[in-house]
């Protein structure tokens, strides 16, 4: 059965559940406990979604993750058949240290749509919003891409902001960006949020550049498919073992993966809820007896983007979810 039902609001309830559980552990220094809290809540909520889902991007292989592992069946079991990508906490270190930018994310598309090669964990990425779509080429020099994006956005190069993960591997990239005169926004973690930031209204950044997680590239592509942005990626092996793995499996390391290679489906959903405050989404706010969450939900087939502020009463939430958010540890 085709994916015709609008599952957006069902998915945002899953990200809200993960955010509400995980946010109680903000700043406590235990990223594993925070991630597990989010996984527990998201897994419970996903079972109520009317779908026959398979996790293709999740917490790892079955022997590494007890829940939301790759290949796990989620949802009620009824049609439609879908691929599901989850990141219950994007930015576990951010959350554990009480830093900005942690979010809970779910995306889905028709079965067989999402790229999920698991042998190489990293990709070199270049992403822009809809106004600069078509202006980038990951094989072109850094300065050429920045100039082309500036031209597409009708900006001076000096007014372009490029988001880059703050990693030693990006030392040369940062040097090349600085030589153009463009501005740089360094981030510690969270390149899903960083990629999407280039495509929202009044974006705080114009481009994402650099090497990050391959699963995060696919999740970013889901959002880009919904809003009309663009992401281009190339697999980036970390060592000789991964290069040998690619050679043994006939993987072309020079291949450019575009948005529609990473997510081939035409009916794509993306939902995210802020856990800690960030430029993309506000974090969970607590008050006596409940909390407020701030979320976004997108659908590619309609181009709809909804920002949602929700008020949650603890007593009612526990009654309908079966999860004790108040005393989560």
Please report, for the domain that includes residue 68, its CATH number.
3.30.540.10
Query: Same domain for 126 and 77?
Result: no
Q: Write the CB contacts of 30 (distance below 8 Å, at least 6 apart in sequence).
A: 96
* 215 and 88 Cβ atoms separated by less than 8 Å: no
> If you ran DSSP here, which 8-state letter would residue 24 be given?
T
Owning domain of residue 193: 122-262
Q: How far apart are CA 141 and CA 182, in angstroms?
A: 14
- Using left for φ > 0, alpha for ψ between -120 and 50, and beta otherwise, residue 254 falls in alpha
Do 80 and 176 have their domain in common? no
Is 59 labeled as ligand-binding? yes
Q: Is 90 annotated as a binding residue?
A: yes
Q: What is the pLDDT of residue 329?
A: 43
201 assigned binding-site residue: no
Task: Based on the fold, state whether residues 233 and 291 are members of the same structural domain.
Answer: no
* Inside any domain, residue 43: yes
**Segments of the chain with pLDDT less than 70:** 1-4, 63, 118, 316-329
Instruction: Tell me: do 96 and 183 sit in the same domain.
Output: no
The rounded distance, in Å, linking the Cα atoms of 138 and 134 is 11
Nearest to 33 by CA among 23, 44, 42, 43: 23
In a domain, 1, yes or no: no
In this structure, the answer to whether residues 103 and 206 fall within a common structural domain is: no
Do 200 and 283 fall into the same domain? no
Report the C-alpha gap between 85 and 223 in whole angstroms: 12
Is 87 annotated as a binding-site member?
yes
| Residue 83 included in any domain | yes
pLDDT value at position 266?
86
The tens digit of pLDDT for each residue in 59-80 reads: 888 767 789 999 999 999 999 9
Domain count, the chain: 2
Please indicate if the annotation marks 313 as binding a ligand: no
Same domain, 258 and 271: no
pTM for this model (two decimals): 0.93
pLDDT tens digits, 159-170: 999 999 999 999
> Is 328 domain-assigned?
no
Gyration radius of the chain's alpha carbons: 19
- pLDDT computed for residue 6 by the predictor: 86
């Amino acid at each position: 059965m085709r994916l015709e039902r609008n599952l957006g609001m069902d998915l945002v309830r899953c990200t809200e559940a993960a955010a509400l559980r995980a946010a109680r552990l903000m700043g406590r220094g235990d990223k594993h406990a925070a991630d597990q809290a989010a996984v527990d809540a998201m897994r419970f909520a996903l079972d109520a979604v009317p779908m026959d889902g398979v996790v293709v991007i999740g917490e790892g292989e079955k022997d590494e993750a007890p829940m939301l592992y790759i290949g796990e069946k989620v949802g009620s079991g009824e049609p439609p058949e879908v691929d599901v990508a989850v990141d219950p906490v994007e930015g576990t270190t951010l959350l554990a240290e009480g830093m900005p930018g942690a979010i809970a994310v779910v995306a889905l598309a028709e079965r067989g749509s999402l790229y999920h090669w698991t042998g190489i964990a990293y990709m070199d990425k270049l992403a822009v919003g809809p106004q600069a779509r078509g202006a980038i080429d990951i094989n072109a020099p850094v300065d050429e891409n920045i100039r082309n994006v500036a031209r597409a956005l009708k900006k001076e190069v000096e007014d372009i902001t490029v988001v880059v993960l703050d990693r030693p591997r990006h030392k040369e990239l940062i040097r090349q960006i600085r030589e153009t005169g463009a501005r740089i926004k360094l981030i510690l973690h969270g390149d899903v949020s960083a990629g999407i930031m280039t495509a929202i209204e009044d974006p705080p950044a114009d481009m994402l550049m650099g090497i990050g997680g391959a699963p995060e590239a696919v999740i970013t592509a889901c959002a880009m498919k919904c809003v009309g942005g663009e992401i281009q990626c190339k697999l980036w092996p970390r060592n000789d073992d991964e290069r040998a793995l690619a050679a043994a499996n006939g993987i072309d390391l020079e291949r450019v993966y575009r948005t529609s290679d990473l997510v081939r489906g035409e009916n794509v959903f993306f939902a995210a809820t802020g856990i800690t405050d960030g430029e993309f989404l506000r974090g969970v706010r607590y008050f006596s007896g409940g909390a407020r969450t701030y979320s976004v939900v997108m659908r590619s087939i309609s181009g709809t983007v909804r920002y949602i502020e929700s008020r949650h009463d603890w007593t009612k939430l526990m009654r309908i979810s079966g999860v004790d958010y108040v005393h989560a540890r």
